[in-house]
Structure formats: structure tokens, C-alpha cells
Structure 1
Amino acid sequence: MDLLYKIFIDPFVQMGGAPDLLIQTLWEGLVSGVLYALIALGFVLIFKASGVFNFAQGIMVVFAALTLVGLHSKGVPAFLALALTIGVMLVLAFGVERLMLRPLVNQPDIILFMATFGLTYFLIGLGEIIFGGEPKVMITSELYLPKGALEWKVFGGFVSFQKIDIAAAIIASLMVATLAVFFQKTRIGRALRAVADSHKAALSVGISLEQIWVIVWFAAGIVALATGIMWGARSDVSFALQILALKALPVLILGGFTSIPGAIVGGIIIGVGEKLGEFYWGPLLGSGIESWLAYMIALVFLLFRPQGLFGERIIERI
């Protein structure tokens, strides 16, 4: 009985007894959720264009952030280093299209999926050769990202808002909204949706798969760069960040692999859910709950809606 009380009642008593801590937890979960949504967006863009889960998206986050920091460490001004890093992601997009996607077109999806594994380890090796394996400090001040915190007095306590978290939430939200509008309202967006529906049908109406793939991988590279800057500003830039990017998998399960709105909603659910779980249920279930709770939420969700909140239900007639 005591265990049931600790699981089902005590956490909610704590929430009501200290609403300022609840607001603090919800805010931190919201920021994490928006950044998870930004990571998931890179996966969604590539999956919509090729039907392949891009396992390399995580290392693209690390590689973009390392390129930015590495160029600046060589004496390149911060914003010039940012522009050059964007150029590197464009070169990567062309290279992936020419050397990986084009030779494997019309191959089974598992072949392309395994190719992204190869791309992952290629970028890991290249990154370690060029930049080394030690953690780097993100050039936060040089990019004029804010530091410090704001405090809000509420319910007899204080809620602290880190300025970098506010900037991260705003920048990530703007990027997600911009990309959503771009792919929903523009000609390229319509072409992307056509490619997602059928490669052969898209080719028959004159849509170039090569151009679409370059655009999509470049967009995913820009998303990876923004993600690397935001997460790197909150911690260090290291190869451990690619593990964080795998949090996009439960986000995609919740939202649907082809839905941009789903990436947003799924990211917020996972971000807020794992923060609440860590703070209120973590002491009961043991430390480290934040590392696995997102996957448990996704597993439970799969039992009731396998296609995700915004995914398409696939019906096959036999």
C-alpha cells in the first residue's frame, strides 16, 4: 500500500505543495522537448524523401558543431566559421547524394539504412582525425548567445530561466516553423511530398530525385548545425552528443515518422515526460531514469497507436 502511495499519489502531492518547482521542471522539459523536436525534424525530412531512417543524423549534429568550433580555433571569425560550416554541410549533402544515394537508388530500404551506418562511422573517424576526440567548448559568446539567468517570483518561490535555454527554445521553434512552412507551401515542398509518395511517379512528372535529395540532406545538415550549437552551448561539444540524438527515435514513434507537426508534439511529450519522471518518480525508481524513460513511453505508446499521433495508418488487403 505504501508503494502504491509513493507511485500514484505522493508525486502529485509534491507538485501541489511546491508549484514553483513544478513550473521549473515543466520549463526545463519544454526546452528539452523543443530541442528533441529539432533533432527529430532532421530524421523526418530524410525519411519523407527516401523512406529511410537516417542513423547518421546524430553524428551529423556532432560533426557540424565540431566543424564550427574547429574553424574558430584556427582563427576564423565566428560568423565566417558559421558560414563555412554551412558550406561544409552543403558539400556533405552533395557527397551523400552522389556517392551513396545515387548508386543505391531503388535498392531495398534496409540497404540504404545500412549505408547510413557506414556514413556514421565514416564521419566519426573523419571527425576524430581532424578535430581529435576530446570535448570542445561551444563558442557561445562569439555567436552572441546570451548567458546568465532570469528569475521569476511565483507561488512564494523562484523559477530560474537560463537565457541560453530561452534562446535555444526560440531559435529551435523558429527553425521548425520555417521548415514546416517551407515544405508545406513551396514548390520544393510539394516536390518533396511527391517524392515521399512515390519515386517513380515523381520521376514521371519531371521531378529530379537528385536535387530533392541534396536539398533535403542540406536542410537536415542545417538542422544538425543548429542542434549542435544549442546542445553544445548547454554542455560540451563531444561525440557523446550523438547518443543524445537517438532520443529522436521515441519522439518519432510518438509523432509519426513522416509528420513535422508530429515531431514537435512528440518532442514536447518526451521532453516534459522525462523531466517530470526524473524529478518526481526518479528517487523511487533509481537514478538515471531520464536515460530510459523516453523509450518506455514510446514502447507503451506503440501498443495503442503504432503509426504515431500524426502518422498514416497503413492498411494492406490480403
Structure 2
Amino acid sequence: MELFFNLIITGLVVGSIYALLALGFTLIYKATGVVNFAQGELLLIGAYICLYLTTSFKIPFIPSFVLTFVFMFFFGFLIEKVFLRKMIGEPIISIIMLTIGLSSVLKSIVQIFWGTDTRVFPQIFSTKPISLFGIKVSQVYIFSVISVIISLGIFSVFFKKSKAGVAMRAVASDQQAALSMGIEIKKVFALAWAIAAVVSAIGGVFVGNINGVNTNLAQFGLKVFPAVILGGLDSITGAIVGGLVIGVLENLVGGYIDPIIGGGAKEVFPFIFMIIVLMIKPYGLFGTVEVEKV
């Protein structure tokens, strides 16, 4: 049972990060109708920026964390302004291909500046584990989950209470109606990309603290895709639930099935589970069902 609970706790940690990244996917899709395949690279850049500030400029972790948010916010704005805004009105497939190309470009830029070697953050969290229900849990895991919960709470309040958040929800609901009400669609698109870049950076920093920082972190963008589809591409609640479910299932499969078959199941199972769910609920668990009348 100790192994089971350890796998569950670790799965919740990874799942909470998946949920945060899935939120970034969902924000962009709800606002623009585009699936962003460069989400993993935004995570990668956020992790490297925080690491660079911490190690090269000797800035304490918390200020580096905040500066990373600021940088990624404006970086997201820049990406939308330079690349995506020019594609407004173009076929969706063209925009999706642009994000795929953008992911390759961003990853190449990271390799040029920082190489491919794994780098580690200086010791930020105590190595002494915390006992949680009798299970010893690393402090970085605890802080990761707490930070993700706080972040999700802040964004939830932002979407429900702030003027900008309400505007984003209006655009997601009906772009034409939002435009007729005086909402500036282009600014909403830019804000969606900026927030997606920030949530990716949060995930990247904590994954980097757990696993080290290298270009393989970009794979989290693909690994989180089953969570996005499972929850429903246009559902924020679905993004959170899907991330947690996939994180836990992935960890359980890795702990129990991989040792039996020699590995590989952990990476494949989330996609198998996603396919099974989509066969039953094509729009995901919480996605909006679209009905077309002929």
C-alpha cells in the first residue's frame, strides 16, 4: 500500500502540472479556436529563463520566479503580435502548422543559447521529506502542488471577476457578438497567449526543479495533450480534471505495469486512455457538444 500511495501522491504532483499546462492549451483554443503545438516550448523557455536568472545573475529564486512570469507574459504577447495576428482569417490548419513550426524554432533557439546538457537549479527546497499521512514526500512536490493550486485559483478568479477575464469568456462564447459589444478581439487573443506563456513557465520551473532542465522538457507539451482532449478542449474545468487523471494513471501504470513488461507503457497509456474516452465521449468529459443541423 505504501507504493500505491507514493504513486498516487507523485501522480497528483505531475497531474497538477499537467493541469496547468492543459489550462494554457484551453485558453488559446477557447479564445482563438487554435490548438497551440508550441506549448511545450513555452514551458522549456520559462524553465531556462528562471534557471538563467538564478544561476548566472545570482538572483534569489522567488524574485527570479516573478521576473520569469513578467518575461513570459510579454513574450506571449510578442508571439501573438508578430506571428499569430497576421494569420487572423486564415484557415485553421495553416495556423496550427504555424504553431508546429514555431515550436521547432523556439526549441532551436534554446539549444543555441543553452545547449542540450541537463542543468539543475541550485538547492532551493530542503531535501528533508515531509510526512504526509505516513508517506514521506519531497518538499519540492509539496510546493509544486501548492503553487499550482494557488495559480489555478488566481486564474479562476481572474476569469470570473476581472473585466479582461469576462471579455475572454465573451470572445470564447461568441466572437461576433463580443465584437459587436465593443470588445477588442485582437487584445483578447494576445492576452490568451500571454497567460498561456505564464502558466507554461510555472509548470516548467517546477518540472525543472524536479527533473532538471534540458530540451526534453518540451515533450511535456505533447504529454499533456491527452489531458486536454480527455477533459475537453474548450473546458477549463476539464483541463484541470484531465491533467490530474492522466498524471495519476500514468504514474500507476509506470509503477505496476512497466516493471512487468520492461517499460514503455507509462508513455503510451495516456494516449490509449484518451482514445477510449473519445470513442465514448467525442468532445471529452467536459467539452461542449456541437450539434449541426442540416
Whether TM-score is above 0.5 comes out as yes
**Partner of residue 72, structure 1:** 54
Equivalent residue for 2:40? Answer: 58
Q: Equivalent of 1:151, from 131, 137, 142?
A: 131
Paired position in structure 2 for 1:9 = none
Q: Which amino acid aligns with 1:314?
A: E
Sort the Cα spacing of 1:153 and 1:261 in 2 relative to 1 into closer, same or farther, 3 A: closer
Structure 1: 5+ residue stretches without partners: 1-18
* Percent identical: 33
- Confirm or deny that 1:277 pairs with 2:253: yes
Secondary structure of 1:123 counterpart: helix
Residues 75-84 or 93-102, more deviating:
75-84
TM-aligned CA distance change 1:72 to 1:32, over 3 Å: closer
- Structure 2 counterpart of 1:23: 5
Over 3 Å counting, the alpha-carbon distance change for 1:140 and 1:308 in structure 2 is: farther
Distance 1:52 1:204 in 2: 22
Out of 201-210 and 72-81, give the one that drifted further: 72-81
Once superposed, what is the RMSD of the aligned Cα atoms? Answer: 1.8
Counterpart check, 1:82 vs 2:73: no
* One of 165, 176, 188 as aligned partner of 1:189: 165
After TM superposition, the structure 1 stretch with the greater mean CA deviation from structure 2, 35-44 or 73-82, is 73-82
Instruction: State the shift of 1:91 in Å.
Output: 2.9
Q: Which residue of structure 2 aligns with residue 15 of structure 1?
A: none
1:99 aligns with 2:75: no
Question: What amino acid sits opposite 1:307 in the alignment?
Answer: Y
Q: Among 176, 190, 196, which residue is 1:214 paired with?
A: 190
Contact 1:150/1:160, CA 8 A, preserved across alignment: yes
Deviates more, 1:90-99 or 1:237-246: 90-99
* 3-state SS, counterpart of residue 257 of structure 2: helix
Post-superposition shift, 1:252? 1.0
Change beyond 3 A, Cα 1:212–1:146: farther
Change (3 A) 1:133 1:22: closer
1:137 maps to what in 2? 120
Distance 2:97 2:81 in 1: 17
Instruction: Give the 3-state SS of the residue equivalent to 2:73 in structure 1.
Output: helix
SS of the equivalent of 1:102 reads helix
Q: In 2, are the aligned partners of 1:36 and 1:248 still within 8 Å (CA)?
A: yes
8 Å CA contact retained: 1:62, 1:239? yes
Q: Secondary structure of 2:215's match?
A: coil
**Aligned position for 2:22:** 40
**Residue 224 (1) aligns with residue 200 (2):** yes
Once the two structures are superposed, residues 278-315 of structure 1 have per-residue CA deviations (whole angstroms, 9 ceiling, x without a partner) of 22233334312111111111111111011111101111
Give 1:117's aligned residue: 100
Amino acid corresponding to residue 280 of structure 1 in structure 2: Y
> What is the DSSP-based 3-state SS (H/G/I as helix, E as strand, rest coil) of the residue aligned with 1:160?
strand
* Corresponding residue SS for 1:138: coil
In structure 2, which of residues 225, 229, 238 is the aligned counterpart of residue 253 of structure 1? Answer: 229
For the 8 Å contact 1:184–1:190, the answer to whether it is kept is: yes
Deviation at 1:80, TM superposition (A): 4.3
| Structure 2 runs not aligned, ≥5 long | none
Residue 27 of structure 1 and its aligned partner are, at CA, apart by 1.1
Q: Find the counterpart in structure 2 of residue 13 from structure 1.
A: none
TM-superposed CA distance for 1:210, in Å, is 2.2
2:211 maps to: 235
Distance in 1, Cα, partners of 2:186 & 2:122: 35
The C-alpha deviation readout for 1:176-235, integer Å capped at 9, x for no partner, is 122122112322122112211333322221111222122211211111111111100111
Distance in 1 between residues matched to 2:154 and 2:96, nearest whole Å = 28
Instruction: Kindly state the Cα deviation for residue 58 of structure 1 after the two structures are TM-superposed.
Output: 0.2
1:49 paired to 2:27: no
Question: What is the rounded CA distance, in whole Å, between the counterparts of 1:194 and 1:225 in structure 2?
Answer: 26
Pick the structure with greater CA Rg.
Answer: 1
